[in-house]
Structure 1
Amino acid sequence: MPIRTASAQWQGNLTDGSGTVRTGKGGLQGNYSFRSRFEEGEGTNPEELIAAAHSGCFSMAFSKALADAGFNPVSVNTTASLHFDKTDAGMTVTRIDLDTVGDVPGIDAAQFQKLAEAAKDNCPISRLLSPAAQITLAARLAG
């Protein structure tokens, strides 16, 4: 299996400095700063990138679970909302809320929910994050 890489460069001190992050193949690149991470400043941040990775991984895992069950999804759209909270241990990712909408012809709501939960539990990024962070899921059919 391939090894995935990303890099970051930071210049300056924590509060006044700034940096850039870049995925290994250059598909994503963004600026980040203290303000973009801990306030509402422009740019990205590590937690936002984790949320992007989780929503992408879950959407693919769910699409596979649907196909394996005999359903051909038209689309799976997922938003991951990452909660970054101050705890006794310091700033911590405490919870990620996945919100997904699937356009899946021929599936009923119960089967859709069952497959969505299985995908949440088995997505590699969920497995990475779930020991330390709670992961919730809201899944609904489009339409």
Structure 2
Amino acid sequence: MTTRTATARYEGFGKEGKGHITTQSGVLTDQFYGFNTRFGDEPGTNPEELIAAAHAGCFTMALSFALARAGFSEGSLETSAAVKLEQDGDGFTITRSDLTLKASVPGLAQEQFDALAAGAHANCPVSKLIKAQSNLDATLL
């Protein structure tokens, strides 16, 4: 079993509050986030962006391993994730995470590509964690 950690600290409350996120690896150290990084365009991160990065990274790695198991050793995968945050009464809900994949895998047939991508999408641990709708748009180049 592997456990990874992160911490969030928030000083002040509501729109005026300021937060910082730190990850165990140190990739993020006191990374700023707050109302304007989440709902505006102020520099910094936000939870939805971090979920999108996790989902894109997890799915891409899962597909990479599936392709290796199927005998493929060359090519490239590029996945973007769009996580949608919507108003839900007085609060908000993350309603979906949509993945868009562009793959270049020499010798891979479309039917096998579709099956491997769908399997990776269904079995990626982050896909399993996300309870919102998750869709995949995959293109073999």
* Fold agreement, TM-score > 0.5: yes
Kindly provide the amino acid, as one letter, of the partner of residue 139 in structure 1: A
Amino acid at match of 1:7: T
* RMSD after superposition: 1.4
Taking every aligned residue pair, what percent have the same amino acid on both sides? 47
Residue 136 in structure 1 maps to residue 141 in structure 2: no
| Equivalent position amino acid for 1:136 in 2 | N
Structure 1, 52-61 or 41-50: larger mean CA deviation: 41-50
Aligned residue in 2 for 1:91: 92
Task: Please show how residues 2-13 of structure 1 align to structure 2 within 5 Å.
Answer: 2-13=2-13
Distance apart, 1:89 and its partner CA: 7.3
CA-CA distance at 1:137 after TM superposition: 0.5
For structure 1, the 5+ residue unaligned runs are none
Q: C-alpha separation between the residues in 2 aligned to 1:73 and 1:116? A: 16
Q: Corresponding residue for 1:23?
A: 23
Give the alignment of 1:75-90 within 5 angstroms: 75-88=76-89, 90=91
Q: Which residue of 2 aligns with 1:109?
A: 110
Amino acid at match of 1:140: T
> How many angstroms apart in 2 are the aligned matches of 1:90 and 1:17?
17
Structure 1 segments of 4+ aligned residues over 6 angstroms from their partners: none
Question: Is the partner of 1:35 in helix, strand or coil?
Answer: helix
Describe the shift of the 1:88–1:16 C-alpha distance in structure 2 as closer, same or farther (beyond 3 A). closer
TM-score, normalised via structure 2 length? 0.92
Residues 19-44 of structure 1: per-residue CA shift (max 9 Å, x gap):
11111120224210101112232210
Deviation at 1:73, TM superposition (A): 4.0
Cα offset, 1:2, TM superposition: 2.4
Describe the superposition over 1:23-78 as per-residue Cα deviations: whole angstroms up to 9, x where unpaired.
11202242101011122322100111011000000000011111111222422111
Paired AA for residue 26 in structure 1: G
